[in-house]
Structure 1
């Protein structure tokens, strides 16, 4: 979960969707983003598809991917047999996804016009914090079929202390005025679980969803030095740094990984808040 940048006019931490400068910074290098960012657990994808009303009917389940980015999650759902439509506000990300055969419409989800189209599932893969939580939940309810599933999910990951602490120190030196500077090197999982619980509260307030659940998937991935240094510039804290600032951070992290033998294992937790659209009355 990105931390809210200080450049915005003092919105609360729950209002990341107002931090447009950061939200629009990820498309600067869409190819790097797509290559470096991890996918999502196949068990999560399968569970969402199996729990969607279209899974038992003729044709393919229809999935709407909110903030689809370069299409990392969308391609997984397509591979699982779904017909996927992406909605993405950044034209650079949308063009990258289209070049890989995905159908994408450029718009902010809250303002997107469905033109009467309905979906078996609405997903948001590491993107819901850029959506107004109240307007977004209401929009999802409008475009979901009765018993359709809303699934909001994302990764929680903290490198080992031997990597996280040199990163935090170098970031503080390179960008002392950044809102990311001075943050703890590692943050507890409970912090992120609380954020997903707040998402569930906003969904519940619409009174249009039932069966709210929180899912958790634990997994791990090994990173080489080059792989991790390829991913870091795609994260919110680094997309807006100057080249010299970025180089200072990457040099420190690279040296830390070298001291571990050139690789390390990242432990991931993928959290999800899901709910089922209430049936027609």
Structure 2
């Protein structure tokens, strides 16, 4: 589900990186987050991996280049493990120590527990900087400037989001009960009923504008990948508490949301197939100019 759909005029929707309470809440149940959150399409991972320069095995016949990847806001390492499986060498930066701890236990090198804007790369350089479901928590200009600093010439910044298209009955049940239990929260789940990827247009546009303002990149591109996933009632309810809107709810209100949404899924036969669109805002680091 969209974490911060762009509809209301609340400042945190247009500048979600300032809404730190939500941004730093995901580690409250890191194991659930890693278990329940959807993965990313392999076609996108492969395209990003193929677009980077790679430097570890240059000009060696029969030996592919290894892409050095920095995963920004790596969380528990969901995207990082997919890039590792694609043959990349990945390290992460994550502001939540609880998420970083689980990522390390699952095999990812987390080089620092810090926000990306404040992180000191200490001279490290990468072929790709990626951010799965995380770039909206980062200042779009400062983040792009830091990415330009750590990318090798020709390296690629790729910020991507999974955008669902919930069945109308589930979307309407969720929006209705959430607005009832948390009417003053800065989230508008009526956006869930819009065609994907409309719910992320503002965030992707903001990411692209940040890249342009930071400089050092070519023109941003928008990549789109369509796929789907089937959920049982229990599987869908398992992942709902991992989203920013719900991590902030008291237990009794969270239980009310889950019960109401669960009833709507039961009425549909106990499960549904979710169409997803994964949108990626991406740009290549400009080649170094001769001095």
- TM-score grouping bracket, smaller chain normalisation: over 0.9
Question: Which secondary structure does the structure 2 equivalent of 1:109 belong to?
Answer: coil
Gaps of 5+ in 2: 59-64
Counterpart contact for 2:140–2:206, Cα < 8 Å: no
| Cα separation, 1, equivalents of 2:152 and 2:176 | 49
| Cα separation, 2, equivalents of 1:182 and 1:155 | 16
| Cα separation, 1, equivalents of 2:100 and 2:258 | 28
User: Displacement, 1:206?
Assistant: 2.3
Give me the CA root mean square deviation.
1.9
| Cα separation, 1, equivalents of 2:27 and 2:160 | 20
- 2:172 corresponds in structure 1 to 165
2:101 pairs with 1:100: no
Alignment CA distance shift 1:199-1:180 (3 Å): closer
Gaps of 5+ in 1: 5-9
- 1:7 corresponds in structure 2 to none
Q: Which one is further off, 184-193 or 28-37?
A: 184-193
Runs of 4+ in 1 over 6 A off after TM superposition: none
Q: Which one is further off, 138-147 or 251-260?
A: 251-260
User: Displacement, 1:186?
Assistant: 1.6
Question: Which secondary structure does the structure 2 equivalent of 1:237 belong to?
Answer: helix
Question: Which secondary structure does the structure 1 equivalent of 2:40 belong to?
Answer: coil
TM-score of the two chains, using structure 2 as the length reference: 0.90
| Cα separation, 2, equivalents of 1:273 and 1:56 | 26
| Cα separation, 2, equivalents of 1:251 and 1:167 | 10
User: Displacement, 1:194?
Assistant: 4.0
2:72 pairs with 1:72: no
Counterpart contact for 1:220–1:267, Cα < 8 Å: yes
Alignment CA distance shift 1:65-1:35 (3 Å): same
Question: Which secondary structure does the structure 1 equivalent of 2:247 belong to?
Answer: coil
Counterpart contact for 1:210–1:277, Cα < 8 Å: yes
Q: Over residues 212-251 of structure 1, what are the superposed CA-to-partner deviations in whole Å (9 max), with x where a residue is unaligned? A: 2110001100000000000111111111111110111111
Counterpart contact for 1:175–1:181, Cα < 8 Å: no
User: Displacement, 1:162?
Assistant: 1.2
- 1:60-209 equivalences under 5 Å are 60-104=66-110, 105-180=112-187, 183-184=190-191, 186-188=193-195, 189-209=197-217
- 2:255 corresponds in structure 1 to 247
Aligned equivalent of 2:282, options 251, 274, 280: 274
